[in-house]
Structures are given as C-alpha cells and as structure tokens.
Amino acid sequence: MSTSSTASAAASTTTSIRWQQLIAGIVCMVAAANIQYAWTLFVPEISKEFGWSRAAIQTTFTIFVVVQTWLAPIEGYFIDKYGPRVMVLIGGLFTGLSWIVNSYADSLTLYYVGAVIGGIGVGCVYATCVNAAIKWFPDKRGLAVGLTAGGYGAGSALTILPIANMLSTSGISETFWFFGLLQGGVIMVAALFLKAPTKDAVKASDKVPQSRRDYTLPEALRAPVFWVMAAMFIGTVTGGLMAVAQLGVIAQDLGVKDFKVNLYFITMAALPFALMLDRVMNGISRPLFGWISDHIGRERTMFIAFTIEGLGIVALGTFGHNPWAFLILSGVVFLAWGEVYSLFSATAADTFGTKHVAKIYGVLYCAKGVAALLVPLGNILMEATGTWSSVLFTVAAMDLSAALAALFVLRPMLLKHHAANAEWAKTNGITLVPAAATGH
C-alpha cells in the first residue's frame, strides 16, 4: 500500500472514531440534562406538598449549579489523569443517585444533599464531554462543542412531557426514582465508548486563530484576557440561568402558566410547551452559533448572540403577560443564551491551547457558579419591586454590556494575545496558522 493510501485510510479511521466519540458524549449530556433543566417542573409540586417557600426550594438549584461549576477545575485535573471513561462512569453513578436521594427526601436538607451529589455527577459528565469535543475537533471546535453542549441544553426536551405527566399521576417520589435510574444507567453505558485522542491525531483550524502554545493554568490566570472572558461569561449566563430556574414561577406570576396552547394536533398548557420549546431552542443555539463562530470568529458571534438575548429579555419583560408573546420570546431568549457554553469553551481552547484546557475552562466555567448565586436574588428583587420586569431588565443590561465588550474589549485583547503567541512560536520554531487565513 502506498504512503498516500495509508495516510488516507488513517485519516478516514480517525474521522470515524471522532464522530463516534462525539455521539457518545452527546448521549451522556442528554441523559444528564434533567437535573438542571427539568427542575423547574418539580418546584411548584414540592412547594405544594411540603409548604416550603420558593426561595428555600430554589436554594437546591443554586447548590447544584455551584457544586457542578466550582468543582470543574478539580474534575479537569482528574480528566487529564484518568481519562474520559472513568470520569463519566462516576458521573453517571452520581447523576442517577442524586434523584434517587430526592425520591426519599422529606426535608430541605435531603434535597440539598441530592443537589450536591447531582452537582458532582453532572459536573463530571459535562466537563469530560466538552473537553473531549474540544480535543477531538480542533478544526470544527465551535460546532463540536456546540453539539455536545446542545445535548445538555436540549436533552430534557425529550422528557419534559413524560416527567410532567408522571408528576401529575404518580407524584414526586416515583418520578424522581424512575428518571434517576434511567438517566444514570444511560450515562454509564455510553461512558464505556469514550476515550481520549492520541497526540497529533487531528489537525487545527485554518479559519479561527488557535494557540499552538499550551498555557498552564497559572499562566492562563495571569492573562488579563482570561478575566475579561470570565466577566462576560457571568454577565451573559445569569439571565438564561435565571430563566431556567424561574420560568415556571415567572409564568405563574405573569398569569400565563395554565393558558392552553392549541396546535391542532395537540393541546397543552403554556408552561410545559414553553419548556419543551425552550429546550429545543437552547439545543439548536449551541451548535448553530458554534458553527457560525468557526466561520466568522468567536467575538463577532458573541456580539450577535448576546445582543439578541438582551433585546429578547427586554421584550419578555414588556410583553410577557401575553401568552403567545411569552412562548415566542422565551424561545428567543433560550436560542440566544445557550451558545455561551459553546463559545466560551471554544474560545478558551483557541486562546490557551488544549493540553491543559480541562483545568483552564474548569476555572472559567466557575462563572456559571457565580451566576447561580445571583438566581435567588431574582426572587428578592421581584418581591421588592412587585414585577418581574425589573429583574429581566437588569439581566438584559448585563447581556448587552457583554455584547459590546465582545467587540470592543475582548477582540482587541485576543488579537494582541495571538500576536504575542506568534512571536513566541517564531522564537521556538513553531509554525502557526497564517493570520491572513483567520478572517480577523
């Protein structure tokens, strides 16, 4: 066999393997999604059964997100040490166990314990699968990470109606038990197919600037561009995270929760329909904007998406009392929010290299944990002002500020960063992607 034929066969095998890895990662993310995205369905039922306040119940959500995000740097260390298979197996076990604990919970303390377990489990799954997509697809990083994160964003769309129906017929305990076993089992089976790529198995992009220098975590933390990304991440993720946690409560307070949506072939209440639509839009958002960013650059894509999200939130606060406006605008908000998880992870890898990206993005991902701490403040602000508009306008301002920062702060800093990397590479005899090929 000729050298060219051998190389072609090897490339074909690598292509096949990496798409298999991507599919396995997406399956894991879909199965892990319910703990975050279906939680809003349980809040009214838990409050009704036990009489606890919304704020106390929503502390469960905050604990989950904080644990999931703030343990990410530690999980990044273990990903590099033990590989994706072991980490996702552990993640699947903890993800399933979380809801099984919830099925026995008769106190807020037990729900908080379940949230800690779930945060560890989902954190292991999420960090590992995103890290794998980054490393297997440097040439299509935005798309691959977007598809992976999209599995997490849209995954619960498959189970929103079954969970809602089971809650109404079987109650909280049985619903938590059944879906805990189901999602934990699916993750653990899919984990058996995961593995890390070998060195130089895939080639980098020729359209988006990507560092050939692999920064260590301390080096990345000393770079000002890292902290600009972290601030933007907090600003953009807060609004969407608040909508995820509070959409059921917002719908109830706006008086649209029980509005019947007639689609001719099916009729359902506005809230389950909005949740299903939002999950789909959230899932579409991540690969869509990830793919766009592979072609026009991360910062330009951030500007477009964050602006749409900010304007969508303003419109939701203004017209949300109309049931159809609530449905459409909540979908717009989720369409323009979900991409934060594909854009910031891809940008982190582009900026700091892939060798230590699990740790670096793990620290950057803690921004989601900071945003989660702001979620309960939404209830406090709403109660103080008597309207959700005050909350929505506040987070919209954060989104629009991040949109402007993407073009006028982050982009110039990244240009300087990559220029410095080019100089470093020249000094060390490393060939970089030509700047003319980047479109920047």
For residue 335, name the pLDDT band (cuts at 50, 70, 90): confident
What tokens were used for 297?
């650059």
For residue 128, name the pLDDT band (cuts at 50, 70, 90): very high
The CA distance from 128 to 145, in Å, is 11
What are the tens digits of pLDDT across the range 76-114? 889 988 989 999 999 999 999 999 999 999 999 999 999
Higher pLDDT, 20 or 201: 20
Pick the range with the lowest mean pLDDT from 176-180, 244-248, 317-321, 373-377.
244-248
pLDDT of residue 436: 34
How long is the chain? 440
Q: Which domains are assigned to the chain?
A: 17-196+205-427 (1.20.1250.20)
Pick the range with the lowest mean pLDDT from 9-13, 121-125, 280-284, 314-318.
9-13
pLDDT of residue 430: 66
Torsion of CA 18, 21, 27, 31, to 10 degrees: -140
Q: Which residues are CB-contacts of 239 (< 8 A; sequence separation ≥ 6)?
A: 309, 310, 313, 333, 337, 392, 395, 396, 398, 399
Residue 358 has pLDDT above 50, yes or no: yes
pLDDT of residue 193: 93
What are the tens digits of pLDDT across the range 201-210? 666 655 667 7
Residue 332 has pLDDT above 50, yes or no: yes
Asked if 228 and 414 touch (Cβ cutoff 8 Å), the reply is no
Residue 269 has pLDDT above 80, yes or no: no
Pick the range with the lowest mean pLDDT from 122-136, 162-176, 206-220, 394-408.
206-220
For residue 419, name the pLDDT band (cuts at 50, 70, 90): confident
172-to-52, 166, 268 alpha-carbon distances in Å: 15, 8, 21
Other residues' Cβ atoms within 10 Å of the Cβ of residue 216: 14
What are the tens digits of pLDDT across the range 142-170? 999 999 988 887 777 788 889 989 999 99
For residue 390, name the pLDDT band (cuts at 50, 70, 90): confident
Q: What percent of the chain has pLDDT over 90?
A: 45
Looking at the DSSP bridge assignments, the partners of residue 267 are 262
What are the tens digits of pLDDT across the range 205-231? 556 677 778 899 999 999 999 999 999
